[in-house]
Amino acid sequence: MKYSVLGKTGLNVSRVSFGGIPIQQLDQEDANSLIGRAIELGINFIDTARGYTVSESLIGEALAGKRSNVFLATKSMARDKEGMRKDVDISLNNLKTDYVDLYQLHNVPTLEDFEKVMAPGGALEALLECKEKGLIKHIGITSHSIEVIEKALEYDIFETIQYPYNAIETHAEEIFKKAYEKNIGIIVMKPFAGGAITNANGALKFILEKEYITCAIPGMCSMEQLEQNVKAADNPVLDESEREELLKEARELGNTFCRRCGYCQPCPVGINIPMMFMFEGYYTRYNLQQWAQERFNTLPVKASECVKCGLCETKCPYNLPIRDMLETVKDLFE
């Protein structure tokens, strides 16, 4: 396994690390085996979240007697101080630890939400207090919005950013380089485009050959996935045939794959279009049907409320058939 320093945190983390979304599918015994094997193979950074149902608890139990071998990252979608403070306590209890190495503001979607978490009484205030008390060591932010990440880079408080990047979604390259220059750790989520890319080895090499990227956190729920993903770190450089094979698959997926760039927004009736397709991916490719359905149900405006105006399609830089794709989401969830 190869390692890289996670920006200003100083943590020397495995370049292929452990994403904690799909572990929700496992029972405790299988989770113990998977986490134990991951550590044996050199993975020392595990990312989870309050919103991943039982993920924190499974990981916490699996790390009994092994906590000192890993750096733990988790995150919360709380936007105010009180909610974030409660979530930190829950995370500490679930993870069975006295401290979390990296606590992140989770999925901050808009500049309005960003201003809310940064304001007095916002979620960041709680994280700063927890850091002073030693309950968390470092603070990061995750988002699917380039605008939010760009704004976050203006603040010295953030030591890491987490953003989707893969052979299909490459629009973060320049912001990653800017973060690297500021010594901010770069954590890549969705390295397989939410499970759409089947060439896992090539997909990880595509990411890891960029030295400015600190690590990728593919979600894993089987030994086969784990062993395959770890191999990519041994020689993280694509040869020409591997590159062409990967890009061929990316081109084929490009006709119907949402990059979550957000250019289609705002929708006249208020549909969060990128979020619709993200939940569809969790449902169809991550095998997290119940979790995806529950999260979809919380959305205030559903896919079925699309009025077929087509405005989104005129703004999509990838010419996606968004209206047809929303119809698929409606049939899946509603």
Q: What would the pLDDT profile of 170-227 be if each residue is shown by its tens digit?
A: 989 999 999 999 999 999 999 998 888 989 999 999 999 999 999 999 999 999 999 9
Q: Which residues contact 252 (CB under 8 A, 6 or more apart)?
A: none
Give me the pLDDT at residue 111, please. Answer: 95
Tell me how far CA of residue 118 lies from CA of 112, 124, 127, 152, 205, in angstroms: 10, 6, 11, 10, 35
Of all residues in the chain, the percent with pLDDT exceeding 70 is 100
Judged by average pLDDT, the poorest of 68-82, 280-294, 319-333 is: 280-294
Residue 285 has pLDDT above 90, yes or no: no
Instruction: Give CA–CA dist 313/323, Å, rounded.
Output: 8
Give me the pLDDT at residue 196, please. Answer: 86
Residue 46 has pLDDT above 80, yes or no: yes
Instruction: Give CA–CA dist 251/266, Å, rounded.
Output: 27
Give me the pLDDT at residue 109, please. Answer: 87
The helix or strand, by DSSP H or E, that contains position 138, with its residue range, turns out to be strand 136-142
Question: What's the average model confidence in pLDDT over 6-29?
Answer: 96
- Kindly report whether the global pTM for this prediction surpasses the value 0.85: yes
Instruction: Give CA–CA dist 333/272, Å, rounded.
Output: 15
63 band by pLDDT with thresholds 50, 70 and 90: very high
Give me the pLDDT at residue 318, please. Answer: 80
Pairing of strands 3-5, 12-14: antiparallel
- Which domains does the chain show, CATH number per domain? 3-246 (3.20.20.100), 273-333 (no CATH)
